[in-house]
Amino acid sequence: MTRYSKQTRILVAVDCIIFGFDGELLKLLLIQRGFEPEKNKWSLMGGFIEPNEGPEEAASRILKQLTGLEGVYMEQMDVFGEPKRDPIERTISITYFAFIDINKYEQQLSEEYHAEWFPLKKTPKLIFDHEAMVEMAKEKLKYKAALHPILFELLPEKFTIPQIQTLYENVYDTILDKRNFSRKLLSTGLLIRQNEKDKENSKKGAYFYRLDSSIYKDKFQAFLNFIPNPQALNS
């Protein structure tokens, strides 16, 4: 087999930033690293790409291996390649971020690697440059959530408008005006109101809604500039 001469071999890895929402808090899924260096320290889900797979295949395989999760919405984010980011060998990492409904997948988590959810504002110290990855993912999440309805990936099949508002407030770290938020959300035409109400979280009860999946892709631009400036929704 012909090889390029005089070229240094570089390892390629993938790291997954997994966001989850439990109805109250936006959280980050972490594991305890199973080998040196930094063994037993908190880490994102990551591993090396095998010769016979692409980055996305590797991300899905590693996610299932380390957490038991599969069929999760994932999107490629960026590449981290600072020469000394891994103290053992030169390693480039392709990052992915994903969104899941915690309640849907909680029982599926693997115990072998001690996968655990942490509130996004109370995450422990992470290995290598993983904290920089998380910060970038948080900014990407804010940007994409203002343009597209991707945050519905974090919600259960049936949800209330207060639940969605709480999620958006978590993402943007702000308080949103209830009437303005509800009006703009319903104007997208993406929600179908159900006849039943959520009586657990309020005496009056809030109607449940479902995402209209039949027009979800066609109206993916319906959220364009949905939250161009979160502070403006408070005025």
pLDDT in tens, 79-131: 999 999 999 999 999 999 988 888 877 766 767 778 899 999 999 999 999 99
Tell whether pTM > 0.85.
yes
Instruction: Supply the mean pLDDT for the chain.
Output: 87
> In 10 A of CB 100, how many CB atoms?
22
**Which residue intervals of the chain bear CATH 1.10.10.10?**
150-234
Q: Which of 93, 119, 117 is nearest to 106 (CA)?
A: 117
How far is the C-alpha of 141 from the C-alpha of 180, rounded, in Å? 21
Q: Which fold has domain 11-136?
A: Nucleoside Triphosphate Pyrophosphohydrolase (3.90.79)
Are residues 142 and 134 in contact, defined by beta-carbon separation less than 8 angstroms?
Answer: no
**Omega prior to 51 cis, within 30 of 0:** no
- The segment(s) of the chain belonging to CATH 3.90.79.10 are 11-136
- For residue 110, report the phi and psi dihedrals to the nearest 5 degrees: -75, 140
Question: pLDDT tens-digit profile of 181-210?
Answer: 999 888 888 899 999 998 877 667 899 999
Taking the domain 150-234, which CATH number applies? Answer: 1.10.10.10
